[in-house]
């Protein structure tokens, strides 16, 4: 690869922000975009909620269905880095796509509400990041409000998420009493309200070698400052040591405190994050070999397909994570699954406020390809003789299930076609019961069912009847362990679309009962 391209790849930082709804992900994303000059005004990303969003057809669809496409990928430049933020919807649009998006990033930022600590959705998304072993950076938000004690929050990280943490900075007070941040990493203090706490409107005070402010300073009179120093001392003695290697392996999360809403601590977070966040990392192929992002030839995989962006054209966009080389508009690639050659002429790149035609992109970037039905989730495309196929994306265990059938029995054909295509596309999971061959749909979020129903009707002219069967715990078993007599009233034995057997358990109790009864049968939550 030529040097200028190597530099381009090395400048990429591709990450996702994960959080539970309302922790402040949108607010922090906006701040980051503002620093990068990608938007001019706060409230732009949030337009979805306030109805400020513009006009085009597909935006209308987004609004109707609550799917946000505009903000699914945001690219901007900041201090010579090209940053790609991938959105992981936490709200009503939570779906398998949310998990799969995490397969396309090199690191993740976890936003936590200081008042609430670790919430369920954060935990789920964290676990996917953990499985991938990517670096995870923590931003504890809403410091301008009274929240949990900082030490308690670190303890929660270690106990609930089982990850070691290292505080990069430490709050001096919080809520109305927030005086500043003790920046342990940069050895300085960021003053929260210079007009009240500082001298001459200073915002930053450097620390001396002992880690204290030299000489006289109003903030030194506060017991909160003394308290922060004591906490830091305790953490330096008894806490985890800073380790770049552990951060890179996802074993240690650097923790930053701040307030996204008042833009306090966010820029320091971004600057420090960019120091440690990895540039594009190698992705593994099906044989477990790593494909170097600096390889000359282009390669990438599809991690998300967004259908029906424009109802008039029924178009779809396949989101591709570029894993190596350079994308050139109009290039020829091979689709690994079919070995078919495809010309990539119709492509788009995502910006904060718009989509524009992309001419060139490199490893680490995300591009959108208009798709006429060529692509499936997980597909690899490559240039020339590279002949690579990236490892399969994991199947995530659905938590919600519905029985589904065609309303009109005369229209079985379009029903089956629709189900088959939507399942192939990865929009929803399909299972069949062993005895009766009933169709059961599985999803991780309610929206997936709604989209399924909507698309069956509008794209395949098939009205469906969906009967909820409630939440279940799905666990795969090895085909050789299968004995149909293991099925009981508390579990449902089904097979997935690859014919792998799995049990849908009523609840934890039913699953434990099963595990006790069949101790040699391994139950797996990922395939």
For the chain, helix, strand, coil in percent to 5 are 30, 30, 40
Q: How many residues are recorded in the chain?
A: 527
Closest contact distance (angstroms) between CB of 92 and ligand G4P is: 11
Q: Measured from the CB atom, is 84 or 259 closer to ligand G4P?
A: 259
The DSSP output letter for 339 is T
Tokens of 406: 């065609």
Q: What is the dihedral of CA 265, 270, 274, 276, to 10 degrees?
A: 40
Distance CA 21, CA 467 (A): 28
Q: SS3 for 54?
A: coil
Element counts in the chain: helices (H) and strands (E): 14, 30
Is 154 known to sit in a ligand binding site?
A: no
Q: Is 22 annotated as a binding residue?
A: yes
Would you say 144 is a known binding-site residue?
Answer: yes
Residue 35, class by beta-carbon neighbours within 10 Å (0-12 exposed, 13-18 middle, 19+ buried)? middle
Residue 464 contacts residue 406 (beta carbons within 8 Å):
yes
The three-state (H, E, C) secondary structure of 302-321, written as one string: EEEEEECCCCCCCCEEEEEE
Q: Is 89 annotated as a binding residue?
A: yes
Task: Please write down the HEC assignment for all residues of 463-487.
Answer: CEEEEEEEECEEEECCHHHCCHHHC
Q: Which positions from 248 through 277 interact with ligand G4P, judged by CB under 6 A?
A: 259-261
Q: Which is nearer to ligand G4P, 144 or 496 (CB)?
A: 144
**How many residues lie near ligand G4P (CB under 6 A)?**
15
- For 462, the token pair is 């098939």
Is residue 23 part of an annotated ligand binding site? yes
Q: How far is the CB of 257 from ligand G4P (least distance, A)?
A: 10
Stretch near ligand G4P under the rule CB under 6 A, chosen from 92-100, 139-147, 168-176, 224-232? 139-147
What is the C-alpha to C-alpha distance for residues 442 and 402, in angstroms, rounded to an integer?
Answer: 7
Assigned token pair, 2 = 């030529």
Distance of closest approach, residue 88 Cβ to ligand G4P, in angstroms: 10
Dist CA 356 CA 117 (whole Å): 38
- 504 marked among binding-site residues: no
Residue 25 known to bind ligand: yes
CA atoms within 13 A on the CB side of 329: 13
- Give the E-state strand segments of 123-192 in sequence order: 136-141, 164-167, 169-172, 180-183, 188-191
* C-beta closer to ligand G4P: residue 146 or 506: 146
Residue 404: CB atoms within 10 Å: 21
Supply the minimum distance, in Å, between the C-beta of residue 15 and ligand G4P.
Answer: 16
CB of 50 to ligand G4P, least distance (A): 7
Q: Which is nearer to ligand G4P, 26 or 324 (CB)?
A: 26
Q: Is 235 annotated as a binding residue?
A: no
Q: What angle do CA 58, 61, 63 make, to 5 degrees?
A: 115
Q: Is 91 annotated as a binding residue?
A: yes
Residues 107-126 that bind ligand G4P (CB under 6 A): none
DSSP 3-state assignment of 229?
A: helix
Give whichever of 172 and 260 is closer to ligand G4P, judged by the CB atom: 260
Q: Footprint of ligand G4P on residues 141-170 (CB under 6 A)?
A: 141-142, 144-145
User: Per-residue contact track with ligand G4P, 10 to 49, x per CB under 6 A?
Assistant: ---------x-xxxxxxx----------------------
Comparing CB distances to ligand G4P, the nearer of 22 and 60 is: 22
Q: Pick the closer one to ligand G4P by CB: 67 or 523.
A: 67
CB of 173 to ligand G4P, least distance (A): 15
Nearer to ligand G4P, 105 or 440 (CB): 105
Q: Which is nearer to ligand G4P, 24 or 167 (CB)?
A: 24
Query: In the bound complex, what is the minimum distance in angstroms from residue 268's beta carbon to ligand G4P?
Result: 14
- Least CB distance to ligand G4P at residue 122 (A): 10
The least CB distance from residue 143 to ligand G4P, in Å, is: 7
Minimum distance, C-beta of residue 89 to ligand G4P, in the bound complex (Å):
9
**142 has binding-site annotation:** yes
Judged by CB, which is closer to ligand G4P: 12, or 25? Answer: 25
> Does 399 engage in binding with ligand G4P (CB under 6 A)?
no
Annotated binding-site residue? 21: yes
Distances (CA, A) of 144 to 152, 186, 229, 269, 477: 17, 22, 20, 16, 48
DSSP string, 87-114: E---STT--HHHHHHGGG-SEEEEEEET
146 is in an annotated binding site: no
User: Binding-site residues, please?
Assistant: 19-26, 87-91, 141-144
User: Binding-site residues for GTP, please?
Assistant: 19-26, 87-91, 141-144
| Chain residues in the site for ligand G4P (CB under 6 A) | 19, 21-27, 141-142, 144-145, 259-261
């Amino acid at each position: 690869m030529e040097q200028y391209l190597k530099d381009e790849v090395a400048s990429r930082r591709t990450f996702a922000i994960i959080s539970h709804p309302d922790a402040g992900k949108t607010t922090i994303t906006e701040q980051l975009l503002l620093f990068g000059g990608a938007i001019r005004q706060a409230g732009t990303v949030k337009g979805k909620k306030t109805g400020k969003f513009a006009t085009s057809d597909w935006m209308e669809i987004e609004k109707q269905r609550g799917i946000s496409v505009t903000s699914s990928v945001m690219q901007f430049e900041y201090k010579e880095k090209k940053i790609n933020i991938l959105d992981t919807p936490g709200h009503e649009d939570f779906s398998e796509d949310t998990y799969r998006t995490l397969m396309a990033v090199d690191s993740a930022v976890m936003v936590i509400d200081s008042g609430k600590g670790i919430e369920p959705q954060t935990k789920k998304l964290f676990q996917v990041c953990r499985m991938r072993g990517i670096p995870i950076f923590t931003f504890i938000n809403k410091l301008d409000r009274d929240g949990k004690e900082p030490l308690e929050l670190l303890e929660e990280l270690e106990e609930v998420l089982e990850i070691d943490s290292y505080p990069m900075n430490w709050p001096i007070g919080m809520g109305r009493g927030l005086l500043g941040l003790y920046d342990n990493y940069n050895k300085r203090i960021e003053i929260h309200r210079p007009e009240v706490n500082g001298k001459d409107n200073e915002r930053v005070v450097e620390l001396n070698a002992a880690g204290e402010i030299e000489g006289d300073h109003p903030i030194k009179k506060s017991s909160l400052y003394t308290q922060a120093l004591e906490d830091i001392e305790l953490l330096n003695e008894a806490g985890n040591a800073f380790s770049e290697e552990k951060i890179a392996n996802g074993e240690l999360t650097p923790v930053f405190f701040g307030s996204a809403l008042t833009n306090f601590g966010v820029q320091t977070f971004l600057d420090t994050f960019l120091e440690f966040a990895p540039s594009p990392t190698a992705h593994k192929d099906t044989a477990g070999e790593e494909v170097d992002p600096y390889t000359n030839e282009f390669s990438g995989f599809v991690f998300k397909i967004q259908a029906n962006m424009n109802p008039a054209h029924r178009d779809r966009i396949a989101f591709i994570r570029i894993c190596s080389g350079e994308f050139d508009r109009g290039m020829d690639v091979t689709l690994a699954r079919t070995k078919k050659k495809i010309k990539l002429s119709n492509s788009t790149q995502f910006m904060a406020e718009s989509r524009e035609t992309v001419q060139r992109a490199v490893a680490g970037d995300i591009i959108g390809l208009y798709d006429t039905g060529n692509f499936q989730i997980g597909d690899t495309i490559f240039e020339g003789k590279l002949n690579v196929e990236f490892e399969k994306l994991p199947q995530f265990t659905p938590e919600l299930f519905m029985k589904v059938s065609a309303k009109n029995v005369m229209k079985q054909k379009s029903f089956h076609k629709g189900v088959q295509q939507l399942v192939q596309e990865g929009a929803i999971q399909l299972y069949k019961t062993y005895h009766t061959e009933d169709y059961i749909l599985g999803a991780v979020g309610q929206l997936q069912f709604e989209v399924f129903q909507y698309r069956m009707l509008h794209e395949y002219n098939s009205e469906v009847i969906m009967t909820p069967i409630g939440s279940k715990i799905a666990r795969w078993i090895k085909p050789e362990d299968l004995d149909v007599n293991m099925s009981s009233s508390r579990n449902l034995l089904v097979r997935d679309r690859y014919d792998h057997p799995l049990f849908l358990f009523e609840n934890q109790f039913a699953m434990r009962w099963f595990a006790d009864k069949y101790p040699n049968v391994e139950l797996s939550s990922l395939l």
